[in-house]
Chain A
Amino acid sequence: MSQTFSGDSGVAEAVKSSDLHPGTGAAFNADDFEPAVRINRFQGLSRPSLSYWSDAWMRPKKNRKATVSLAMVVFLALFTLVGPFLWRIDPSAQDMARISEGPTFAKTAVVIDEAASWTAPELSGIPAAPTASAENLLAPATLEADGVPSSQAVRLKWAPVTGASAYAVYRSETKPSGKVGTSELGVPIGEVDAGNKVGYEDTFNLERSEYFYSIVPKNGEEASKFTTLRVVLPSTIALSAAQALKSDIKVGETLHLSAHPFGTDYLGRDLLSRLMSGARVSLFIGFFAPLVMIFLGIVIGGAAGYTGGRTDNLLMAFADFVLALPFLLFMILFKIAFGVGAGESGIFPMLVAMVILSWPSSARLVRGQILQLRESEFVMASKLLGARPIYLLFRHLLPNTMGVILVSLTFAIPSAIFTEAFLSFIGMGVAPPTPSWGSMCNDGIQTFLTHPHEFLFPAIFISITVLSFNLLGDGLRDALDPRMRSTS
């Protein structure tokens, strides 16, 4: 697209080609000609004429992929904008009793009284001074639950072991194999630091319905013998917590707890509503950054392409320079340099950094288009008719680049979403408590083997969004940009 390509040479060429056309230039008489019969049926247009935009509208409709992706984009928009009105759970409401729960639809809990304070039984008859060495210690003769175990607390008491100076309490989700030697008893839940204290209250994250408790006597080292008890925990809720949900509930009644179709996160917050508010952040960045970037691209690219000359060279050299910056490195650098103050979400600095670093690609695109169009015949014609530059730019040049711009916008969206996700994933993204899909992935990845839902759902949403915008971009490109039409 050399700029020396002027309109004159185009005209000259047209004349030349008509000269070469065979059959012209021979001599004929007027009698040689008869008026032709007018055949009307060839004159009328049999179908409505296709304008650029109606053609553009028809194509994606024919393209199945594009329609599906359009539907997905609409779904995502509804999910983000309408979702919170339908699923009215506060995304920041925490429920410490329901941390990292998998998807639940109908969960009930029996209301129990507030746990009264409990102290472990302390025996006076047992000598406090430890005697036996660890290998000779016996397992506690009995081990039982004190009172009814609930998901609020499990209280254990056991028979004292002579010679023990302490007891270690283990808790396992699976039945210990019972092998001698205290391996695989589960989590070391606590320790009782006296031989005559023979009870323990467990309030540690009781989220399963069944646990195996093992008591290992100690004297310096742990003994090799232990006693195990299986405890079944009914789903319960303390009265005060229950009354917060339903004011007239009484002890012993069953309460229907709220459903969490996507489960809950590490603070017991509803994952579905968090995904919705996370979508607002991810999609906001995903839309807004490309929009601003393309707007900037149109302004700078349009100016460069239209004015040409030194302005063009200067602007494009600048664009080249920005393009040469290592994108992710500078995203991180700018993010740190701009800083995020107290209570800020960090969305704005990220947006600014993203726009600063990515406008050149769209500016180059717009400029290339304008350069091309500037030399086209219809612009030439308009010029000849005396159109002013501004009119030309807004009436002819820019509208005709819209297709290409729209396509590049659709492709910029997924990459913006990816960038946000990546930055949030390495902890350089949005600040808490603002959720974004990327930061949710970051939170969830640690648990993805034990609570896969916390990682998978946001990851799936990122993937779906990126996928549908990519496909939509493909479809739009086929529709809007005849030259870039993929042959598939």
Chain B
Amino acid sequence: MLKYTLHRLLTGLITVFFIATITFAAMHLVPGDPISGAKAMSPEIRANLERKYGLDQPVLHQYKVYLTNIVKGDFGISYTQQNRSVNDIIRDHFPVSATLGVLAILIAAFGGVIFGSLTALFRNKAPDHLIMFLVILGISVPSFVFAALGQYGVTELNRFTGKDILPVGGWGTLSHMLLPSLVLGLGTMAFLVRLMRSSILEVMNLDYVRTAKAKGLSPMRIFLGHKLRNAVLPVITVLGPAIAAITTGGFVVESVFAIPGLGRYFVQAVQQLDYTVIMGLTVFYGSFLVFMVIAVDIIYGLIDPRISVAKRSAV
């Protein structure tokens, strides 16, 4: 187990190194550079700025400096926000994106398990059809549509009632987080409902369920103790990648609801060609994703005694 974990961590580190390299290469392939401004500058000022950011050095040297700094945990200074470091930006804004993402995942996971169970319990009855209809909607409608409609709906609701039922945007209290995380989690939730439904239906007629029935356990206990417990496992496996996808996929939601998250910074940085921010955020997100998946795999192994991760790794 320890060996497996170490092996995974090592490959994770190598992956992060490659991510850093690819990002660096991609950034230096891009035509244009971060220093140019709306008003053209004289060659003298330009040279001064290039010296300041070390852009006058050969590319290989820049690469070396960049890698050493990453190892030191220093992503450099932003080009557009000249006195904020990328570390500052991550420190200030990652918690926001993470909170939003975790909340969205929680909503998606709980919603997925509950609604998924309901559809399985009421199979081919009205609640099943209703939920599955909503699920289809959730899967096939893009998140930007939900975001726009959701915000419009809340604005109208606030006006209609004359009260601040929910904030239209911004960040701070739990009420600010509710609508954006719901919008963000909706797609994943729909996906999980489907997964959960088929997963429960699969375990429905397995031997141990039949045994439990034969023992005379109440349907509720069978459901909670046997069916749900086993059916929930596949849901956990997809959570790892889903967390990362949700945390990085929040661009639109963050922008619509005026949330100071990292996703917005990334898009902004790309538009401004802010080298350091783009590279820093990509490496940061890449490592986050890599280690999240590793963590979920390990936790999965701990939860499900039937699966030994060490053995699984051979496949």
A and B touch in the complex (CB under 8 A): yes
Using a CB–CB cutoff of 8 Å, the interface residues on chain A facing chain B are 1-3, 317, 320-321, 324-330, 332-334, 336-337, 339, 368, 371, 414, 418, 421-422, 425-426, 428, 441, 445, 448-449, 459, 462-464, 466-467, 470-471, 486-488
How far apart are the CA atoms of A471 and B286 in the complex, in Å? 32
- Closest chain-A Cβ to B290's Cβ sits at a distance in Å of 5
Given A459-B141, A467-B136, decide whether A325 and B19 contact each other with a Cβ distance below 8 A. Answer: yes
A-B contact pairs, 13 of them (CB 8 A): A324-B19, A326-B282, A329-B248, A329-B281, A368-B315, A414-B140, A449-B152, A464-B140, A467-B136, A470-B139, A487-B201, A488-B198, A488-B201
How far apart are the CA atoms of A200 and B80 in the complex, in Å? 46
Q: CB-CB < 8 A to B142: which residues of A?
A: 418, 421-422, 425, 441, 459, 462-463
How far apart are the CA atoms of A203 and B11 in the complex, in Å? 67
Interface presence of B104 (CB below 8 A):
no
How many cross-chain pairs have Cβ atoms below 8 Å apart between A and B? 113
- Closest chain-A Cβ to B155's Cβ sits at a distance in Å of 10
How far apart are the CA atoms of A327 and B249 in the complex, in Å? 9
The reply to whether A422 and B144 contact each other, CB–CB distance below 8 Å, is yes
**Which of A329, A414, A441 counts the most chain B CB atoms within 10 A?**
A329
Count chain B residues whose beta carbon lies closer than 8 angstroms to a beta carbon of A. 51
The residue that B267 contacts in the complex, of A324, A334, A426, with Cβ under 8 A, is A426
How far apart are the CA atoms of A445 and B152 in the complex, in Å? 12
Chain B residue nearest to A364 (CB atoms) is: B315
Q: CB-CB < 8 A to B126: which residues of A?
A: none
Q: Which of B23-31, B89-97, B174-182 contacts A (4 or more CB under 8 A)?
A: B23-31
Using a CB–CB cutoff of 8 Å, the interface residues on chain B facing chain A are 11-12, 14-15, 18-19, 22-23, 26-27, 29-31, 123, 136-137, 139-145, 148, 152, 197-198, 201-202, 204, 244-245, 248-249, 251-252, 266-267, 270, 273, 278, 281-282, 285-286, 289-290, 293, 311, 314-315
The residue that A321 contacts in the complex, of B15, B144, B202, with Cβ under 8 A, is B15
The reply to whether A321 and B30 contact each other, CB–CB distance below 8 Å, is no
| Chain B residues touching A, majority SS | helix
Chain B residue nearest to A338 (CB atoms) is: B29
The reply to whether B252 and A320 contact each other, CB–CB distance below 8 Å, is no
The reply to whether A425 and B144 contact each other, CB–CB distance below 8 Å, is yes
Chain A residue nearest to B142 (CB atoms) is: A421
Q: CB-CB < 8 A to A441: which residues of B?
A: 142, 144-145
The reply to whether B286 and A325 contact each other, CB–CB distance below 8 Å, is yes
Q: CB-CB < 8 A to A330: which residues of B?
A: 282
Q: CB-CB < 8 A to B145: which residues of A?
A: 441, 459
Q: CB-CB < 8 A to A449: which residues of B?
A: 152
Chain B residue nearest to A4 (CB atoms) is: B314
Q: CB-CB < 8 A to A418: which residues of B?
A: 142
The reply to whether B11 and A445 contact each other, CB–CB distance below 8 Å, is no
The reply to whether B201 and A324 contact each other, CB–CB distance below 8 Å, is no
Q: CB-CB < 8 A to B251: which residues of A?
A: 328, 426
Given A325-B286, A486-B198, decide whether A425 and B139 contact each other with a Cβ distance below 8 A. Answer: no
Given A321-B15, A324-B290, A368-B315, decide whether A488 and B197 contact each other with a Cβ distance below 8 A. Answer: yes
The reply to whether B148 and A448 contact each other, CB–CB distance below 8 Å, is yes
The reply to whether B140 and A466 contact each other, CB–CB distance below 8 Å, is yes
Q: CB-CB < 8 A to A321: which residues of B?
A: 14-15, 18
The residue that A336 contacts in the complex, of B15, B30, B144, B197, with Cβ under 8 A, is B30
Q: CB-CB < 8 A to B15: which residues of A?
A: 320-321, 324
Closest 7 CB pairs of A and B: A467-B140, A487-B201, A337-B26, A466-B140, A463-B140, A486-B198, A326-B285
